[in-house]
């Protein structure tokens, strides 16, 4: 139970031992963690109190979810309390299907709805090739959204907002996919806000290196969270035996396996392997199965010290 001096707040940026907390009336206060480590992430609801020129985070409220990646060395938390993750990729340069699959698996594991957006629909031939690669994901039930984000500001704002309105969305994607363009088109003051946040946290960080919360509307009902680009996306927090259940095209066949502890690699009577060999509309695509094999092997490897 919070005491009279405690205030509710929303973490909109975090760096080092400090975070920026937004109050109910929209003001922002630099806060520091009570202990030695700052445990807050963007999107956290917190209780804090004034302490001199700064604030002190007293408690992080229970999270609905947390989107993160983990390799053998460290865990990287992106944001908490999300409604969806928008995985933004581009027709050119060619996107990595392995990285896309990893992001989708992390979203599935966290219980967060993912949405795939393919940028650069104005590049006709590259876009068509990329769109064909995404057809299996559409068949799995994922939303797949075509986009043409240009620095000139040309974007189907209403169509895009249909998918974003009233939600808190983490924008995730590799460098060069158009994340910064998307943020700047929907939040024109984003560059100025980023500078203010960096100054407030004394971080010298910008959107390319720090996760940042932006309100899209004056009512503060629609939020975008800009995240750093990534080259690797570790899934060490995933149990290898749960992996198939986090891949929709494998999941629907895994229930047909003869053995309950099937790895879907070599066992007789495996529903997944049967679907890989199938040539019909319910078949598992060979490249998707290769991604599963690679990830299963990765998650089975002994830790390296």
Which CATH number goes with the domain that contains 30? 2.40.50.140
111 lies in the same domain as 188:
yes
Q: Is 174 annotated as a binding residue?
A: yes
Residue 255 and residue 157 share a domain: no
The answer to whether residues 203 and 84 belong to one domain is yes
Residue 74 shares a structural domain with residue 52: no
Residues 100 and 218 in one domain: yes
Full-model pTM: 0.90
Question: Is 198 annotated as a binding-site member?
Answer: no
The annotation status of 210 as a binding-site residue, yes or no, is no
| 270 marked as part of a ligand binding site | yes
Count how many domains the chain has. Answer: 3
Look at residue 234 and tell me whether its pLDDT is greater than 50. Answer: yes
**CA 33 from centre of chain:** 25
Average pLDDT over residues 173-199: 79
180 labelled as ligand-binding? yes
pLDDT at 4 over 70: no
Range of lowest pLDDT (7-11, 110-114, 133-137, 188-192):
188-192
Domain of residue 295, residue span = 240-300
> Has residue 233 been placed in a domain?
no
Q: Residue 152 above 50 pLDDT? A: no
Residues 166 and 264 in one domain: no
Is 50 a member of any domain? yes
Q: In angstroms, rounded to a whole number, what is the distance separating the alpha carbons of residues 236 and 148?
A: 34
276-303: average pLDDT = 93
Using CA atoms of 147, 150, 153, 156 in order, give the dihedral in degrees to the nearest 10: -10
**175 is known to lie in a ligand binding site:** yes
Residue 257 assigned to a binding site: yes
The whole-number average pLDDT for the span 73-99 is 93
* pLDDT at residue number 18: 86
pLDDT of residue 21: 96
Domain boundary at 192, 226, 260, which? 226
Which whole number is the average pLDDT over 88-112?
95
Q: Is 31 annotated as a binding residue?
A: no
Annotated binding residue 178:
yes
Does the annotation flag 122 for ligand binding? yes
271: exposed, middle or buried (C-beta count within 10 Å: 0-12, 13-18, 19+)? buried
Q: How far apart are CA 171 and CA 117, in angstroms?
A: 10
Mean pLDDT, residues 246-269: 96
Interval 90-98 mean pLDDT: 93
42, 126: one domain: no
- pLDDT of 287 over the 90 cut: yes
Q: Is residue 12 part of a domain?
A: yes
User: Which pLDDT score is estimated for 279?
Assistant: 86
Asked if residue 106 is part of any domain, the answer here is yes
- Say what the pLDDT of residue 5 is: 80
Q: What does the pLDDT read at residue 1?
A: 43
CA distance 25 to 137: 41
Of these ranges, 3-12, 84-93, 152-161, 185-194, the one predicted with the greatest mean pLDDT is 84-93
Instruction: Give a yes or no: residue 1 inside a domain.
Output: no
pLDDT at residue 203 in the model: 54
Do 274 and 254 reside in the same domain of the chain?
Answer: yes
* Predicted local distance difference test score (pLDDT) of residue 100: 96
Residue range 153-170: mean pLDDT, rounded: 83
Q: Which of 42, 60, 78 is the last residue of a domain?
A: 60
pLDDT at 184: 87
Element (H, E) at 212: strand 212-215
Q: Are both 72 and 109 inside the same structural domain?
A: yes
Within 10 A of 141 (CB to CB), how many other CB atoms are there?
8
Question: Is the confidence at residue 49, as pLDDT, over 50?
Answer: yes
Query: Mean pLDDT of all residues in the chain?
Result: 89
Query: 221 and 144 in one domain?
Result: yes
Please tell me whether residues 130 and 214 are part of one structural domain: yes
Q: What is the pLDDT of residue 108?
A: 97
Position 229 scores a pLDDT of 73
| Percent with pLDDT over 90 in the chain | 66
Q: Which residue has the higher pLDDT, 36 or 225?
A: 225
Whether 19 has a binding-site annotation, put simply, is: no
Is 303 one of the annotated binding-site residues? no
Copy the structure tokens of residue 96: 């990595």
User: Is 120 part of any known ligand binding site?
Assistant: yes
* pLDDT at residue 213 greater than cutoff 70: yes
């Amino acid at each position: 139970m919070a005491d009279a001096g405690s205030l509710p707040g929303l973490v909109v940026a975090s760096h080092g031992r400090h975070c920026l907390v937004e109050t109910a009336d929209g003001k922002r206060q630099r806060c520091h963690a009570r202990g030695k480590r700052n445990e807050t992430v963007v999107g956290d609801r917190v209780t804090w109190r004034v302490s001199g020129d700064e604030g002190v985070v007293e408690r992080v409220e229970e999270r609905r979810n947390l989107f993160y990646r983990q390799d053998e060395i460290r865990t990287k938390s992106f944001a908490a309390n999300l409604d969806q993750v928008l995985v933004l990729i581009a027709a050119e340069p060619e996107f990595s299907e392995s990285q896309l699959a990893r992001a989708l698996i992390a979203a599935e594991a966290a219980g967060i709805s993912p949405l795939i957006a393919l940028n650069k629909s104005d590049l006709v031939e590259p876009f068509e090739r990329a769109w064909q690669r995404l057809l299996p994901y559409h068949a799995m039930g994922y939303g797949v959204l075509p986009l043409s984000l240009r620095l000139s500001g040309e974007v189907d704002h209403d169509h895009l907002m249909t998918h974003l309105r009233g939600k808190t969305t983490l924008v995730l994607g590799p460098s060069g996919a158009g994340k910064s363009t998307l943020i700047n088109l929907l939040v024109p003051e984003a560059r100025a806000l980023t500078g203010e946040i960096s100054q407030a946290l004394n971080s010298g960080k910008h959107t390319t290196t720090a996760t940042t919360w932006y309100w899209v509307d004056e009512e503060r009902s629609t939020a975008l969270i800009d995240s750093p680009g990534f080259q690797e996306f570790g899934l060490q927090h995933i149990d290898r035996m749960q992996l198939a259940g986090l891949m929709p095209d494998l999941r629907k066949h895994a229930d047909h396996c003869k053995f309950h502890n099937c790895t879907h690699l070599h066992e007789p009577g495996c529903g997944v392997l049967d679907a890989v060999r199938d040539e019909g509309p319910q078949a598992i695509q060979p490249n998707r199965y290769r991604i599963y094999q690679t990830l299963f092997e990765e998650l089975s490897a002994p830790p390296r010290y």
